[in-house]
Amino acid sequence: MTTYLIRRLIQMVVVTILSAMLGYSLLYLAPGGPLLFLQQMQNTGQRRVTEEDIARLKARYELDLYLPIRFTRWLIGFPAGPVQIGGMNLISPDTVVGCAIPGQVRLRYPDGTVEIIEEGCVRVVTLANLAERRTSRGILFGDFGLSQQIARDRPVSDLLMSRLPYTLQLMGVSTLLAILIGVPVGIYSAVHQYSRFDYAMTGITFVGSSLPTLFMGVMAILVFSVLAKEAGLPYLPSGGAQGIRNYDVPWIGTVQAGSALDRTLRFIMPCAVLTFFNIAGWSRFIRASMLEVLRQDYVRTARAKGVRERAVITKHALRNALIPFVTLLAGVLPTLVAGAAITESVFNWPGMGRLLVDALGRSDYTVAMAILFISTVLVLIGYLISDILYTIVDPRIRLT
């Protein structure tokens, strides 16, 4: 078990670094960003952009450093300045790590065309220069750098933390509700296979799991907000986590914007849509797993020796049927972060998924990468937890 865990942890670190590299190369390859903004300013003639402006902006977003240096600074915050051990310089502080202003060479071709290419370097960046800059501690240690567009120059982690409670609330409540409803429904369906209830439930869950949440979300708003309001019935407000103005709802009266009632009313629809979608998954899964177990010999043995049916189901069947359930539970972990981007966008819910969509829409790639990185790490942790839980709930499985 210990050797297994150690091996798994090493594997996890490797995969984390690999996915960080993947994320970073996407970030690096993606054009747009701050320099494009500067270019636009120059093109529209708003302001003359000098070489100094470009150099300053490049320095701010580290665009003047060589790629490997930028990557390690981004990943683990190294090097933050001259590399020293006990006051001694390990590497010369004059080592060149980047180029602030590239040299320009004017090429004149025989046919008269002129092309300007960048070659060499007019002003270099050295290790010593790095000491003056703000250095992130590295994303591996939870420092995701500064946001570029959404909240200019505020740390990405602040942004994430401000959105996290909303996502946790939405995903947490809907997952919990889905399990609380879906699991009993799945068990009942399996025990009474081919009953009317079973047919109805399999039908509903089939539709629930096949319809896109986007469609369900829009239809929910249409029915419970728009049409209900037009018909003069009590309706659910849609959009956002809390209102801006007070509003009247029939039968309930005036709802104060930002009050607990307002927030609850706004929470109901996104939560219900996600719950409905998840119930389908959970109940189908439990039903299948329960049916599998009910066919086993030990269940027949239990029945044969006269155990009451209730005990057969709860003690013998259910316990074994829940084993695969544990793995699924760990799969919930990464969806807690950006699993509901679509639902959150439909309902304008200010969570992490919505933040990802906003960040991508405004080319704020540092925010997007942070979300991608966090959810990848959560996937890995989820895998690990499910493996460990597996050995706990099922002693037949040994990890070696």
Closer to other proteins by Cβ: residue 210 or 306? 210
3-state class percentages of the chain: helix first, strand second, coil last, to nearest 5: 65, 10, 30
Closer to other proteins by Cβ: residue 312 or 372? 372
Give me the least distance between CB of 174 and other proteins, in Å please: 16
Give me the least distance between CB of 7 and other proteins, in Å please: 14
Q: How far apart are CA 140 and CA 238, in angstroms?
A: 38
Containing 127, the helix (H) or strand (E) segment is: helix 127-130
Closer to other proteins by Cβ: residue 312 or 369? 369
Give me the least distance between CB of 134 and other proteins, in Å please: 25
Residues 6+ apart with CB under 8 A from 364: 147, 148, 149, 150, 358
Amino acid at 259: S
Closer to other proteins by Cβ: residue 129 or 343? 343
What is the CB neighbour count within 10 angstroms for residue 319? 12
Closer to other proteins by Cβ: residue 186 or 208? 208
- The residue whose two tokens read 């946001």 is 147
At residue 107, the 3 state secondary structure works out as strand
Give me the least distance between CB of 351 and other proteins, in Å please: 13
Give me the least distance between CB of 31 and other proteins, in Å please: 6
Residue-by-residue DSSP string for 32-99: -SHHHHHHHHHHTTSSPPPHHHHHHHHHHTTTTB-HHHHHHHHHH---SSS-EETTEESS-TT-EEEE
Give me the least distance between CB of 56 and other proteins, in Å please: 25
Q: How far apart are CA 334 and CA 373, in angstroms?
A: 11
Q: Per the structure block, which two tokens stand in for 372?
A: 């991608």
Closer to other proteins by Cβ: residue 97 or 337? 337
Closer to other proteins by Cβ: residue 16 or 135? 16
Kindly list the residues in this chain that would bind other proteins in the complex (CB under 8 A): 15, 18-19, 22, 26, 29-32, 206-207, 210-212, 214-215, 218-219, 221-222, 225-227, 230, 334-335, 337-339, 341-342, 345-346, 353, 356-357, 360-361, 363, 368-369, 371-372, 375-376, 378-380, 383
How many residues can be counted in the chain?
400
Give me the least distance between CB of 380 and other proteins, in Å please: 6
